[in-house]
Amino acid sequence: MNVPDLKEVLDEAYNRFNQPAFIEKDPISIPHQFSSLADREIMGFWVAILSWGQRKTIINKANELIERMDGAPYDFVVNHSEEDLKPFLAFKHRTFQAIDTLYFLQFLQWYYRQFDSLEDAFARHLSTNSPDVGPALKGFHELFFSLPDAPQRTRKHVSTPQRKSSCKRLNMFLRWMVRKDDRGVDFGVWNRIKPAQLLMPLDVHVDRVARYLGLLHRKPRDWASVLELTTNVRRFDADDPVKYDFALFGLGVLEGRK
């Protein structure tokens, strides 16, 4: 398929899937339950981290967290006491265990008692001249595990380019917070990271369709593959390359292509 034809296919799929109807069955429906920035950030970050497995299960697990936080994530995060943590000892999603949950709550309380938004936790590590969000992901990982009693096992749940991870979940979260359009799916509420700096969230479905379309050739699903895929879709929109996540994911999951 030549470049103009491929752009036409991707643009058509992007326009078809980047619609409010996309929200209901996707993890992004979780932060869409809230109107305040902090609530959206907390639950957006958390459901993104939990996003492996079936989407229905992911959404159900995130709703369990919301119930345990009495429907008010930010208020709970900032004001909870040790006694309030008991209901979270039973929370589990695949390899995400109670010890991980408790550390997430500890970090988020520490952070939000100092800062109003998670944007600073990423953007402080990124210059306006950075070609992509790689430094922001590295810096966030270091900040997230900077508390003295950070569990070693929890590190596997928050990825970093330093381990050559694709960082799919964090790239997805950044897409939600940074991308700006009038479609109503992504929030576009952060301004210190440019949409042009975002990187593609590379999951198994995006990987499969990208290879089928000739947008990805590197075999491992790793950080270098994320850079390769993002470089290739930048040919079609250099200012907003990650909009094509809708196209590749939609074609792979919602239509069951290749």
| Helices assigned H by DSSP within 81-133 | 98-112, 119-123
Q: Could you tell me the pTM of the whole model?
A: 0.96
HEC profile of 4-42 = HHHHHHHHHHHHHHCCHHHCCCCHHHCHHHCCCHHHHHH
Three-class secondary structure of residue 79 per DSSP: helix
Task: For residue 96, list its beta bridge partners.
Answer: 93
| pLDDT per residue rounded down to tens, the chain (258 residues) | 666 799 999 999 999 999 999 999 999 999 999 999 999 999 999 999 999 889 999 999 999 999 999 999 999 999 999 999 999 999 999 999 999 999 999 999 999 999 999 999 999 999 989 999 999 999 999 999 999 999 999 999 999 999 999 999 999 999 999 999 999 999 999 999 999 999 999 999 999 999 999 999 999 999 999 999 999 999 999 999 999 999 999 998 866 555
Q: How far apart are CA 86 and CA 159, in angstroms?
A: 27
Ordered DSSP codes for 131-171: SSSHHHHHHHHHHHT-STT--GGGGGGS--GGGT---HHHH
Domain ranges within the chain, ordered by starting residue: 3-254
First to last CA, the chain: 15
- Whole-number Cα distances in Å, 238 to 13, 122, 201, 223: 18, 21, 16, 19
Ramachandran angles phi, psi of 155, nearest 5°: -60, -25
Asked if 31 and 43 count as a contact pair (C-beta separation under 8 A), the reply is: yes
User: Strand, coil or helix: what is 129?
Assistant: coil
